[in-house]
Amino acid sequence: MLVLRYFEDPTETATAEVMRCSVSTVKSQTRDALAALRAKAPELADLTKVMS
């Protein structure tokens, strides 16, 4: 989900179509995956400042 959403950059609707799920599932899974990533690798948070 994260690779598709942030590297391929489709809309949430397009992601849902590709993943064969609802838009709300895309949103919740993306939120949960980002939270897990932040918890497990807090040092990556600085990368968002570089990429912005």
Per residue, the 3-state secondary structure of 27-44, as one string, reads HHHHHHHHHHHHHHCHHH
Predicted confidence at residue 1, as pLDDT, reads: 86
d(CA 47, CA 44): 5
* pTM (whole model) above 0.85: no
| Through-space distance between the first and last CA atoms of the chain, rounded to whole angstroms | 21
Is the pLDDT confidence value at 49 over 70?
A: no
Question: Would the pLDDT of 51 be above 70?
Answer: no
Per residue in 22-48, pLDDT tens?
999 999 999 999 999 989 998 877 765
The pLDDT tens digits for 2-21 are 899 888 999 999 999 999 99
Mutual orientation of helices 12-19 and 23-40 as an angle, nearest 10°?
Answer: 100
Give residue 45's pLDDT: 75
